[in-house]
């Protein structure tokens, strides 16, 4: 009974939603479900707050170095609650322009929120550094694609890319020429030709019109990467997602999958 | 009346409102960018016309327009008012939205008299996929062995919990930002139950911070049940499954705090995430935790792939619960997804070839027929 009833309820509600989707003349199931969820969520929120406060009171009782964090949370919670209720009583709306609660929201909460968001920039840099290290074929491709997209999406990116390309080809070309001095016979000639090939790719870039065309090519290439291979990959994942979500829903609706139940 | 007038100063206008056509009505939605705004007025004009009509006012950030005429394209604008009613500022006009003739109430077209015509292809596709699903379900029930590829991210769960045990450190399970109405979360709860079972067997702590109070309740039950199934209900610690906040970056800060203080041996990120994903995943990396993520949020997948050791990509997240159950019948249903995918890929390849040939004037009729079939079957 502990699993049969929830499975039966899930099946009935699921079928109800499916029928309403295909027969919209019967009404909008979505708004009904949203209303019900809001009501349940309201009650669940009280349990959430109960969990939060109990947890931190417990930590304060236990003591230790971490208790100070819990004290800060409890104080912040009640200060915000009382302040908000007072502003509600005083102005009819805690977010009234005259309300000091609004001041607190604007100058304490929002900067803290924005600070957390801003940290993302540093996290992106450190994660990108790890992801872009050319340790395998895949990460090398990622590095090349990301470099082109970055160069193509920033102002003067094309110009920077020309300089970047010249420096890269110069280093690789000189490296192969240097390596050729260590070998003899065919090995030497191969390295010499490869080195000269890399160096020769730089030469046309000293012709201003060609360099300009090359610089303009990069933003177009960046757009192509974003709009063709990137979208193709996303659509592939999206296709799998849709099939996965339908199969998952069918498993849940028909009680085949009960992992989320007791 | 000049609707673009910015009266006085100090109010930040809302961005361009987003408009969504649904069941013959337009849902106009915008973001609250200035908390000092006391009310919003929403205006509408027909495309190509300068006649502006006020359609309503609200203190919320959503308004529904049900008074559209079919066949007309409309644009919407939101006016934000400051504390005194004379101070206001206007947003930009929205993208045009048009109500087609057939979508209006009684004018809507139906197939077999009851099924909305525009949703009929979805039904055809659902029936087709349903057939595949139950075919493989029956095959599995009859004992036929069904092969599905290994999912490295799920196989690594045991390894991650084992590593935590060896290090004597707790395991942290982080939910996404959606509630129980999202299949992601339901799948995440099932994975949590499996992890709880493993954790109970090894007698280590499992910490589960929650963003949503409904998910909190489900998490408590899942962990309790998992530990009970492992025969170790005594390992369950109520205080380790806690509610943090329903604020996105407050939640990220709370999770980061837990990661930095507890230095877990393994961290799981399961569910639907937004911009906070990398903030949390990168913190888990910096504290030396092995990280396994699973999400269907396409925009967050690259972040998880870059920062985590293993990532369940998209559909793998939905398959996780069936995969972990080791139940052949549940696994059998996953096979239907793979078969449907192969059929769709084949259809795309055939369509691409026919479209290319049609460009050169070859087999145009065949291509048109294929296009019609593709549309009718939900492609």
Residues A220 and A144 in one domain: yes
* 8 Å CB contact between B160 and B256: no
Residues B241 and B318 in one domain: yes
Q: Name which residue leads in pLDDT, B337 or B146.
A: B337
Residues A36 and A117 in one domain: no
pLDDT band for position B376 (cuts 50, 70, 90):
low
pLDDT band for position A1 (cuts 50, 70, 90):
low
Q: What are the residues whose beta carbons fall under 8 Å from the beta carbon of A95, sequence distance 6 or more?
A: A101, A102, A105, B35, B36
Question: Nearest-CA residue of chain B relative to A242?
Answer: B315
Residues B177 and B295 in one domain: yes
Contact A24 B187 (CB under 8 A): no
Residues in B touching A32 (Cβ below 8 Å):
none
* Mean pLDDT of the B344-364 span: 89
Mean pLDDT across chain A: 87
- Highest mean pLDDT (candidates B45-59, B164-178, B334-348): B164-178
Q: Is residue B50 part of a domain?
A: yes
Contact A96 B313 (CB under 8 A): no
Residue A30 has a pLDDT of: 66
B279 pLDDT more than 90: yes
Residue B9 has a pLDDT of: 44
Q: Is residue B5 part of a domain?
A: no
* Mean pLDDT of the B102-113 span: 63
Domain ranges, residue B337 = 115-145+328-376
B100 pLDDT more than 60: yes
Residues in B touching A21 (Cβ below 8 Å):
119
Nearest to B329 among A25, A128, A256 (CB): A256
| DSSP state letter for B247 | S
For tokens 């020769």, what's the residue? Answer: A200
Contact B330 A256 (CB under 8 A): yes
Residues in B touching A25 (Cβ below 8 Å):
108, 110, 114, 116
Residue A155 has a pLDDT of: 78
pLDDT band for position A33 (cuts 50, 70, 90):
confident
Residues B189 and B303 in one domain: yes
pLDDT band for position A198 (cuts 50, 70, 90):
very high
Question: Nearest-CA residue of chain B relative to A57?
Answer: B239
Question: Nearest-CA residue of chain A relative to B81?
Answer: A97
Contact A256 B137 (CB under 8 A): yes
The structural domain count of chain B equals 3
pLDDT band for position B166 (cuts 50, 70, 90):
very high
pLDDT band for position B101 (cuts 50, 70, 90):
low
Q: Is residue A74 part of a domain?
A: yes
Residues B308 and B183 in one domain: yes
What is the complex's ipTM, to 2 decimals? 0.81
Residues B313 and B214 in one domain: yes
Residues A56 and A101 in one domain: no
Q: Name which residue leads in pLDDT, B72 or B237.
A: B237
The rounded distance, in Å, linking the Cα atoms of A63 and A52 is 17
* Mean pLDDT of the A157-169 span: 86
Interface check B312 vs A, CB under 8 A: no
> Which of B66, B318, B343 should be substituted to probe chain A, the one whose Cβ sees the most A Cβ atoms within 10 Å?
B318
> Which of B39, B107, B183 should be substituted to probe chain A, the one whose Cβ sees the most A Cβ atoms within 10 Å?
B183
Residue A138 has a pLDDT of: 79
Predicted structure pTM score: 0.77
Domain ranges, residue A208 = 136-227
B12 pLDDT more than 80: no
pLDDT band for position B291 (cuts 50, 70, 90):
very high
Residue B38 has a pLDDT of: 78
B14 pLDDT more than 90: no
A215 pLDDT more than 50: yes
Q: What are the residues whose beta carbons fall under 8 Å from the beta carbon of B277, sequence distance 6 or more?
A: B269, B293, B295, B297, B300, B303, B304
Residue B6 has a pLDDT of: 38
Q: B144: which 2 tokens?
A: 């036929």
Q: What is the pLDDT of residues B305-349, one digit of tens each?
A: 889 999 999 888 888 888 887 788 888 888 888 899 999 999 989
Contact B315 A241 (CB under 8 A): yes
Residues B179 and B310 in one domain: yes
Residues A29 and A109 in one domain: no
> Which of A39, A61, A102, A251 should be substituted to probe chain B, the one whose Cβ sees the most B Cβ atoms within 10 Å?
A251
Residues 43-82 of B with CB under 8 A from A: 82
The rounded distance, in Å, linking the Cα atoms of B130 and B304 is 32
Residues A149 and A220 in one domain: yes
Residue B96 has a pLDDT of: 81
> Which of A46, A123, A242 should be substituted to probe chain B, the one whose Cβ sees the most B Cβ atoms within 10 Å?
A123
Contact A256 B333 (CB under 8 A): yes
User: Which is nearest to A21 in space by CA: B15, B58, B120, B258?
Assistant: B120
Residue B106 has a pLDDT of: 52
Q: Name which residue leads in pLDDT, A193 or B116.
A: A193
Residues B225 and B320 in one domain: yes
| Three state DSSP letters for B148-196 | CCCCHHHHHHHHHHHHHHHHCCCEEEEECCCCCCCHHHHHHHHHHHHHH
Of B82, B107, B132, the one marking the end of a domain is B107
Residue A16 has a pLDDT of: 87
Residue B5 has a pLDDT of: 38
- % of residues, chain B, pLDDT over 70: 91
DSSP string, chain A: -TTHHHHHHHHHHHHHHHHHHH-GGG--HHHHHHHHHHHHHHHHHHHHHHHHHHHHHHHHHH-STTHHHHHHHHHHHHHHHHHHHHHHHHHSSTT-TT-HHHHHIIIIIHHHHHHHHHHHHHHHHHHHHHHHS--SHHHHHHHHHHHHHHHHHSTTHHHHHHHHHHHHHHHHHHHHHHHHTT--THHHHHHHHHHHHHHHTTGGGGSHHHHHHHHHHHHHHHHHHHHTHHHHHHHHHHHHHHHHHHHHHHHHHTTS--TT--
Residue B8 has a pLDDT of: 41
A64 pLDDT more than 70: yes
Residues in A touching B344 (Cβ below 8 Å):
239
Residues A142 and A218 in one domain: yes
Q: What is the pLDDT of residues B185-197, one digit of tens each?
A: 989 998 999 999 9
Contact A262 B317 (CB under 8 A): no
Residues in A touching B116 (Cβ below 8 Å):
22-25
Residues 109-138 of B with CB under 8 A from A: 110, 114-116, 119, 122-123, 126, 129-130, 133, 137
Residue B35 has a pLDDT of: 66
Q: Is residue B70 part of a domain?
A: yes
Q: Name which residue leads in pLDDT, A229 or B116.
A: A229
B105 pLDDT more than 50: no
Q: Which of A35-49, A70-84, B68-82, B285-299 has the lowest mean pLDDT?
A: B68-82
Q: Is residue A167 part of a domain?
A: yes
User: Which is nearest to B268 in space by CA: B320, B331, B325, B231?
Assistant: B320
Q: Tell the burial category of B161 from Cβ atoms under 10 Å away from its Cβ (0-12, 13-18, 19+).
A: buried
pLDDT band for position A29 (cuts 50, 70, 90):
low
């Amino acid at each position: 009974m502990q699993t049969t009833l929830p499975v039966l309820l899930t099946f009935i509600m699921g079928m109800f939603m499916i029928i309403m989707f295909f027969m919209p003349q019967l009404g909008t199931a979505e708004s009904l479900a949203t209303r019900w969820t809001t009501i349940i969520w309201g009650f669940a929120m009280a349990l959430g707050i109960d969990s939060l406060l109990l947890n931190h009171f417990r930590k304060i009782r236990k003591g230790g170095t971490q208790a100070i964090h819990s004290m800060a949370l409890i104080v912040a919670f009640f200060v915000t609650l009382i302040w908000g209720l007072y502003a509600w009583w005083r102005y009819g709306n805690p977010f009234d322009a005259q309300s000091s609660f609004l001041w607190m929201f604007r100058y304490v909460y929002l900067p803290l929120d924005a600070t957390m968001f801003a940290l993302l920039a540093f996290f992106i840099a450190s994660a990108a550094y790890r992801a872009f290290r050319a340790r395998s074929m895949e990460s090398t491709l990622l590095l090349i694609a990301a470099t082109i997209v970055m160069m193509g999406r920033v102002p003067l990116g094309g110009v920077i890319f020309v300089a970047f390309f010249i420096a890269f080809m110069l280093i690789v070309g000189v490296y192969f020429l240097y390596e050729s001095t260590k070998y003899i016979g065919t090995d030497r000639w191969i390295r010499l030709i490869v080195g000269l090939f890399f160096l020769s790719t730089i030469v046309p870039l000293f012709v201003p019109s060609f360099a300009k065309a090359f610089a303009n090519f990069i933003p177009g290439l960046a757009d192509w990467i974003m709009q063709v291979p990137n979208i193709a990959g996303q659509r592939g994942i999206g296709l799998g997602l849709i099939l996965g979500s339908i199969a998952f829903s069918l498993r849940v609706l028909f009680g085949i999958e009960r992992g989320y139940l007791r | 009346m000049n609707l673009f007038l910015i009266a006085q100063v100090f109010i930040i206008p809302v961005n361009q409102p987003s408009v969504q056509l649904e069941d013959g009505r337009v849902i106009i939605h915008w973001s609250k960018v200035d908390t000092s705004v006391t009310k919003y007025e929403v205006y509408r004009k027909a495309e190509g016309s300068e006649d502006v009509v006020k359609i309503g006012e609200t203190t919320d950030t959503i308004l529904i327009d049900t008074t559209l005429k079919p066949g007309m394209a409309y644009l919407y604008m939101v006016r934000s008012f400051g504390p005194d009613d004379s101070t206001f500022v206007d947003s930009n006009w929205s993208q045009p939205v048009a109500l087609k003739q057939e979508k209006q109430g009684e004018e809507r077209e139906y197939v077999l008299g009851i099924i909305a015509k525009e949703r009929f292809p979805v039904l055809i596709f659902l029936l087709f996929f349903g057939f595949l699903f139950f075919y493989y379900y029956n095959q599995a029930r009859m004992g036929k062995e069904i092969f599905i590829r290994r999912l490295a991210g799920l196989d690594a769960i045991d390894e991650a919990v084992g590593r935590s045990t060896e290090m004597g450190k707790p395991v942290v399970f982080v939910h996404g930002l959606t509630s129980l109405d999202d299949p992601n979360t339901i799948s995440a709860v099932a994975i949590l139950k499996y992890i709880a079972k493993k954790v109970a067997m090894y007698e280590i702590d499992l910490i589960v911070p929650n963003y949503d109070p409904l998910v909190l309740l489900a998490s408590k039950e899942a962990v309790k049940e998992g530990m009970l199934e492992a025969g170790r209900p005594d390992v369950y610690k109520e205080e380790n499954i806690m509610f943090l906040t329903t604020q996105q970056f407050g939640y990220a800060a709370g999770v980061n705090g837990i990661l930095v203080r507890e230095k877990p041996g393994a961290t799981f990120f399961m569910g639907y995430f937004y911009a906070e994903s990398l903030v949390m995943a990168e913190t888990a990396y910096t504290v030396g935790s092995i990280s396994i993520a699973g999400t269907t949020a396409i925009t967050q997948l690259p972040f998880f792939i870059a920062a985590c050791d293993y990532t369940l990509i998209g559909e793998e997240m939905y398959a996780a619960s069936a995969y972990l159950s080791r139940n052949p019948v549940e696994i059998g249903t996953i096979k239907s997804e793979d078969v449907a995918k192969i059929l769709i890929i084949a259809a795309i390849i055939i369509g691409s070839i026919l479209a290319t040939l049609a460009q050169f004037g070859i087999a145009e009729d065949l291509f048109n027929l294929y296009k019609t079939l593709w549309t009718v079957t939900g492609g």
